[in-house]
Structure 1
Amino acid sequence: MHPASSVIIFTTFSGLGFGLLFWLGIGAITPTGLMALIWFAIAYLAAVGGLLASTFHLGRPERAIKAFSQWQTSWLSREGICAVATLLIMAAYGAGLVFFDTVLAPLGWLGAAGALATVFTTAMIYAQLKTVPRWRHWSTPALFLALSVGGGALLGGQVTEALVLLGLAAALQVYTWVTGDTRLARSGTDMASATGLGHIGTVRAFEPPHTGTNYLMREFIHVVGRKHAQRLRIIAVALAFVLPIIFLLVPFSHIWGALALVSHIAGVLVLRWLFFAQAEHVVGLYYGKR
């Protein structure tokens, strides 16, 4: 898949923002007054900023509102509904902290559940695609949730929880790479099934279907060299997990905490780039690109 910068930014920062809203909602962080306003501003900036970035990948962004009407069949629609509902609930919860120094616990827990639901629905947009075997697996939503809640814990200063969740996310990430690298081959989809010519005999690419590129080739075919991908994986794991964990294990200071957060975000950006670049959409088989 083409690793569009808008979708990379969306999946990275919306996950981080909703992860922070989760910790705010369950009461792990209970600021009041101005500090509450600052905490919620940070969470909303990341969550809403990420959601807005995703619209730049739409051909007709002005029609994005229509996505909300397809909630019965579309995970994208469910994501939009969950996101808006969560942001409204957490706005009411945050107002209690900012203006009344009051913790409205039921609203907070409901908003926290909504934050998790939003991240889950985002992941399911990708996990439900039969055309991308690498994504169609339980580990996709599990990893999205672990990165979101772990990143939110890091942003919210929940050191112990961040250490555990980042370690879990690192293990999940390695697992998705190890198993994901073989999912296309194990899916049973090949050039014969892609072209529908398997009943004739052995199918091989003689010439490409056409001489120029088209939309399918631009959006769904992106080939990453094995050595290049392995190098990026090492960099991503080091930035997203190893360095933040090291920074959190040293005697705490705001400088180490800031470095851990910056390193984690940089690493997740690389992870998201690889997530899309290595997607291996089966349409590539038709064009002889797999």
Structure 2
Amino acid sequence: MHPAPSVIIFSTLSGLGFGLLVFLGLGWPAPTGWVAFVFFALAYILAVGGLIASTFHLGRPERALKAFTQWRTSWLSREGVCSVAALLVMAIYGAGLVFFSDRWAVLGWIGAALSLGTVYTTSMIYTSIRAVPRWNNITTPVMFLTLSLAGGALLAGQVTAAIVLLVLGGLAQGAHWLVGDQAFTKAGTTLGTATGLGARGAVRSFEPPHTGTNYLLKEFVYVLGRKHALKLRVIAMILMIVLPVLILLLAPSHLFAAVAVLSHLAGVATARWLFFAEAEHVVGLYYGHRRDVEARQPVQQP
């Protein structure tokens, strides 16, 4: 799929912001006064900034509020409801820490659960799309959740938790790549199954549907070379996991911790770009972008 900057910024920043809110809600740490204000301001800048960025990918951004009405059937709507609830609860919880130096624990736990729920609903927007086999599996929400918590632990200064979660996040990201690389083939979707003509033999497109570009090509078809994908995966893993873990193990100071956060952020952004660039929508079959799959269709002799 086409890696739009708005959704990359959204999924990267909001995951980090809500991850930090999870730890603040649990009381790890539990700052007060101006220190609390700085922590919550950072979390809200990341979370709200990411959510605002996501609206730029909507065809009609001014209609974004209507998405909240479809919470019974839409993960996008559930994400909106959950994110607003999380931000409101955490605002009240944060006010207690900033203005009254008092931690209202129950509110913090509720806010932490809603923040984690927001990341989960975000991941389910992609997981629920059956037309993109790479996303349509359990590794997608696991990867989103672990990386969000890892980033949140980094920002919250929870060194031990951050190291453990970063390692788990790296494993989750690796599993997502490993499972995703085989997902399209295992789904068994071909021109033959799409047209119902597979029983007659191999089905191939005689001509493209039309000579010009269109919305489907712009949004759902993006070709990324395997060599480039492999290089970007290595870069993402080093920046996102390896470098931050080494910094936390060897030089756990405030300055180097900031470097670890920036490295992690750059790595997650790279991985998110790959998340969209490598996602193959089944519509690509009709434009000749999965000929390796078509070629594996058995040709039945008459």
- TM above 0.5: yes
Q: Is the 8 A contact 1:34 1:98 kept in 2?
A: yes
Q: Kindly report which structure 2 residues correspond to 1:28-107, keeping only aligned pairs within 5 A, or say none.
A: 28-107=28-107
Secondary structure, counterpart of 2:28 in structure 1: coil
Runs (4 or more) in structure 1 with deviation over 4 Å come to none
Secondary structure, counterpart of 1:72 in structure 2: coil
Q: Does 1:192 align with 2:211?
A: no
Paired with 1:21 and 1:267, the residues of 2 have a C-alpha distance of 21
Query: Counterpart amino acid of 1:50?
Result: G
Deviations 1:198-223 (A, max 9, x none): 24432012221111111001100011
Q: Is the 8 A contact 1:194 1:282 kept in 2?
A: no
Deviations 1:38-86 (A, max 9, x none): 1100000000000000000011100000000000000000000000000
User: What TM-score do the two structures reach when normalised by structure 1?
Assistant: 0.98
Paired with 1:222 and 1:19, the residues of 2 have a C-alpha distance of 30
Query: Counterpart amino acid of 2:169?
Result: A
1:146 CA displacement: 0.3
Deviations 1:84-119 (A, max 9, x none): 000000000001001111100000000000011000
Q: Is the 8 A contact 1:131 1:281 kept in 2?
A: yes
Number of the residue aligned with 1:222? 222
Number of the residue aligned with 1:151? 151
Deviations 1:141-160 (A, max 9, x none): 01100010100000111110
Q: Identity over the aligned pairs, expressed in percent?
A: 63
Deviations 1:172-231 (A, max 9, x none): 111111121011001010121233432443201222111111100110001100101001
Secondary structure, counterpart of 1:101 in structure 2: coil
Paired with 1:239 and 1:196, the residues of 2 have a C-alpha distance of 45
Q: Does 1:117 align with 2:117?
A: yes
Number of the residue aligned with 2:132? 132
Secondary structure, counterpart of 1:29 in structure 2: coil
Query: Counterpart amino acid of 2:168?
Result: L
Query: Counterpart amino acid of 1:208?
Result: P
Number of the residue aligned with 2:141? 141
Q: Does 1:251 align with 2:251?
A: yes
Query: Counterpart amino acid of 1:30?
Result: A
Paired with 1:268 and 1:251, the residues of 2 have a C-alpha distance of 22
Q: Kindly report which structure 2 residues correspond to 1:205-216, keeping only aligned pairs within 5 A, or say none.
A: 205-216=205-216
**Unmatched 5+ stretches in structure 2:** 291-302
Q: Is the 8 A contact 1:191 1:288 kept in 2?
A: no
The answer to which of 30-39 and 106-115 deviates more is: 30-39
Report the number of matched residues.
Answer: 290
Query: Counterpart amino acid of 2:45?
Result: L
Paired with 1:288 and 1:196, the residues of 2 have a C-alpha distance of 18
User: What TM-score do the two structures reach when normalised by structure 2?
Assistant: 0.94
Number of the residue aligned with 2:10? 10
The answer to which of 254-263 and 68-77 deviates more is: 254-263
Query: Counterpart amino acid of 1:155?
Result: L
Paired with 1:221 and 1:192, the residues of 2 have a C-alpha distance of 19
Secondary structure, counterpart of 1:31 in structure 2: coil
Paired with 2:10 and 2:196, the residues of 1 have a C-alpha distance of 36
Paired with 2:242 and 2:251, the residues of 1 have a C-alpha distance of 16
Query: Counterpart amino acid of 1:116?
Result: L
Query: Counterpart amino acid of 1:58?
Result: L
Paired with 2:139 and 2:178, the residues of 1 have a C-alpha distance of 12
Paired with 1:55 and 1:199, the residues of 2 have a C-alpha distance of 44
1:251 CA displacement: 3.2
Q: Is the 8 A contact 1:194 1:285 kept in 2?
A: no
1:22 CA displacement: 0.2
Paired with 2:57 and 2:194, the residues of 1 have a C-alpha distance of 27
Paired with 1:270 and 1:251, the residues of 2 have a C-alpha distance of 25
Secondary structure, counterpart of 1:92 in structure 2: helix
